[in-house]
Amino acid sequence: MQDYIKSQVEGHRKTEIYALTNPGYIKLMKYLHAKIPEAGFILEIGCNTGYECVMIQSPTRNVAGIDIGEDFVNRACELGVGARVMDMHEMSYEDGTFDCVYMNNTLEHSHTPAKVLSEIFRILKKGGIVVICIPADYKNRDYISTQNWDPALHLWKPAPEEFKQAITDAGFEITEYEEIDSESMFGLENKASYNHYMVIVCKK
């Protein structure tokens, strides 16, 4: 488990630099943020150093975040984010706490995504919204990155039907599904998924 957490930490460091310096990734984040409700209590799972929480926050949105990396959560707190060190497979929030849960390039890191989705269903209010984006790694399952942290991180590489089935099995109703070409839409390359991401919006 410690090796897994260490690999996550290394990946987060690289992801933060990438996310904040890549114009294409910034466009992707803003595209996803537009799918989040305009008001309510929102949780970002896998918040890294809190940069997306800050982007999402507004006068009508109260945003919290969780991550397994203590140093990242500390940095997020410095930015004013209500962030906590927590495992997404077993969250300590009360039932029905949040109006929306947001995950961007996070669920693919889970060893048991069904457990994560079950936890999200539990902590979400009735009628609450979930926005999930994962890379379409099923298109290129054998890809090995030249970055030594990458291959260990993507543990779940579902095809579209498997992705949607996992969502409905957890009790959610899918309101939107799309597979986006990040290169043509945002100028964002992702060799591991042939530049494609899968996005699901669902409600409890």
Residues 38-58 pLDDT 10s: 999 999 999 998 999 999 999
Residue 25 pLDDT > 90: no
**Mean pLDDT across 80-89:** 96
CA 114 and chain centroid, separation = 15
Can you tell me the mean pLDDT for 142-152?
A: 51
Q: What is the model's pTM?
A: 0.88
Q: Give me the number of domains the chain comprises.
A: 1
CATH number of the CATH domain containing 42: 3.40.50.150
- Per-residue pLDDT for 172 more than 90? yes
Residue 24 is predicted with a pLDDT of 85
Tell me the angle at which helices 2-21 and 70-78 cross, rounded to the nearest 10 degrees.
40
For the chain, the residue count is: 204
- Structural tokens at position 68: 């397994």
- Higher pLDDT pick, 193 / 200: 200
Beta carbons of 108 and 135 less than 8 angstroms apart? yes
Over pLDDT 90: what percentage of the chain?
65
Q: How far apart are CA 156 and CA 74, in angstroms?
A: 28
Least confident of 6-20, 63-77, 112-126, 127-141: 6-20
The residue ranking higher by pLDDT, 94 or 6, is 94
Residue 8: what pLDDT?
Answer: 47
Residue 15 has, within 13 A of its CA and on its CB side, a CA count of 21
Query: Which pLDDT score is estimated for 193?
Result: 64
Q: Residues 116, 117, 122, 125: what is their CA dihedral angle, to the nearest 10 degrees?
A: 130
Amino acid 151: pLDDT: 45
More confident residue, 191 or 149: 191
Does residue 174 have a pLDDT over 80?
yes
d(CA 199, CA 78): 30
Which of residues 150 and 83 earns the better pLDDT score? 83
Rg (CA), the chain: 16
Distances (CA, A) of 103 to 2, 44, 146, 170, 202: 23, 6, 25, 16, 12
**Which residue range is the domain that position 119 belongs to?**
2-203
- What pLDDT is recorded for position 143? 61
